[in-house]
Structure 1
Amino acid sequence: MREEILPAEIAAPVFISPYLEPYPEPWPVPVGISARHIHLTQRDLEELFGPGYQLTPAKPLSQPGQYAAQETLTLVGPKGVLEEVRILGPCRPYNQVELSGTDAYQLGLDPPIRDSGDLDGTPGIVLVGPRGSVDLPFGVIKAAPHLHLDPATARQHGLEDGDRLQILAEGEKEVVFNNVLVRVSRDYLPDFHLDTDEANAAGIRQGQQVLVIAKRLLPA
């Protein structure tokens, strides 16, 4: 005789890991979706646009003081070209080109998934502007998902810069993002950053709320 399965026996299993400390109450953060973009040094900005050139802010971003500039560049890779790729400002101490996997494939590149600023061993690319070009020897990445937090919010949830989290995006696909890097600064507002490929695959929209469900106890 076949044993009857009671409702309590078919409840969803609970995922348990010794490396994660679940939050008793998951807490929400908004999503910011980043399309391909470029961060430039002032020196290379002038190489591309002319001596003394300054970026022209066009649209503020989710983080205070950050903006999408009016200026764009052409990216030239081993097997393809991407035109009108937006520069983000203000200028930084290093050059960095952030692409989705789809963008990288079109250019003929295979950049690693990295945290911002971790550029050792990354591929290079040629940047073409209206007044010149710059051949970057390295600096192309697929940006790892990361969470910006202000210090007060970080303290509230027992977090410090460099911690790692598990984040749940609810919905039809219900995707869990593991090993999400926490970035804490007085200049930040809470914002979970994904690229366009990641957001599309998970069915996530700009500004959607996701849930921080656990803190990682050991380094990745």
Structure 2
Amino acid sequence: MKQVPVGVSARHIHLSVDHIEQLFGKGYELQVLKDLSQPGQYAAVETVAVVGPKGKFDKVRILGPARGKTQLEVSRTDAFSLGLNPPVRESGHTEGTPGCKLIGPAGEIDIEEGVIVAARHIHFHTDDAKRWGIQDKQLLSVKLEGERSLIFEQVIARVSDQYALDMHMDTDEANAAGAKTGDTAIILA
């Protein structure tokens, strides 16, 4: 049986170095709050406010380290609250997506694009993928068992020797399945 740990991903933002400096000040470096499941990734102490056409979230957690491009990841429910209609995309694929306003303690910026609903995916270390015969970008069917058992289709396999085995889904998906971080999913195909 191919079992994978589940990680539920609440709304969060990845910032570029330039945007960190615009929001927090020249030369500012993010402080680590806690390490995440993926090696080298962390939740930062810092948060920013995110403003859309209809709504605002005051404390959106920043995930570090800094990225090449700023990207806000929200659930579909979050998007409705902000008044945005972002596409479901893989991380890093922000072309043609909506933007929003970001407010930090040292400034604010309007990003022209970068808001997505993250596509559900599983991070595979290359050893795990090889053992199970899974290729990078392969679409998988994954079952979460329990009181609200659910099968998720089109779960993207992301394979790298930099990854640790973990399935990532957003809060809407987790709520639909009654799932929480630390649960186990089963890869069906």
Q: Corresponding residue for 1:194?
A: 169
Report the equivalent of 2:30: 55
Q: Deviations over 1:48-76 (max 9, x none)?
A: 11110100000111111100000000001
TM-score (norm. length: structure 1): 0.84
1:123 Cα offset (Å): 0.5
Deviation at residue 173 of structure 1 after TM alignment: 2.3
Shift of 1:116: 0.8
Alignment match, 1:154 = 129
Compare CA radii of gyration and give the structure with the larger one.
1
Within the candidate set 119, 127, 131, 1:144 is matched to 119
The alignment-based identity, stated in percent, is 52
- 2:104 is aligned with 1:129: yes
Amino acid at match of 2:142: I
> In the alignment, which residue of structure 2 is the partner of 1:170?
145
Q: Residues of 2 paired with 1:173 and 1:84: CA distance? A: 30
Runs of 4 or more above 3 Å deviation: none
Q: In structure 2, give the amino acid aligned to 1:117.
A: G
Structure 1 partner of 2:89: 114
1:100 aligns with 2:61: no
Report the AA paired with residue 180 of structure 1.
Answer: V
Cα drift, residue 144 of structure 1: 0.9
Tell me which moved more, 181-190 or 73-82: 181-190
Q: CA deviation at 1:129?
A: 0.4
Q: Which moved more, 1:74-83 or 1:114-123?
A: 114-123
Counting strand residues as a fraction of each chain, which structure ranks higher? 2
Q: What is the total number of aligned residue pairs between the two structures?
A: 189
CA distance in 2, matches of 1:194, 1:82: 20
For 2:164 and 2:83, the matched residues in 1 are separated by 35
**What is the match of residue 14 of structure 1?**
none
Map of 1:209 onto structure 2: 184
Measure the CA separation in 2 of the matches of 1:38 and 1:150.
Answer: 24
Q: CA deviation at 1:121?
A: 1.6
- 2:150 maps to amino acid: V
Q: Deviations over 1:84-141 (max 9, x none)?
A: 1000000011110000112111111111111111112211001000011111101101
What SS does structure 2 have at the residue aligned with 1:53?
Answer: coil
1:66 matched to which residue of 2?
Answer: 41
Q: SS of the counterpart of 1:91? A: strand
Matches within 5 A, 1:29-48: 29-48=4-23
Counterpart of 2:23 in 1: which secondary structure? helix
Over the aligned positions, Cα root-mean-square deviation in angstroms equals: 0.9
Structure 1 unaligned residues grouped into runs of 5+: 1-25, 215-220
Q: Report the Cα offset of residue 205 of structure 1.
A: 1.6
Q: Distance in 1 between matches of 2:165 and 2:48?
A: 29
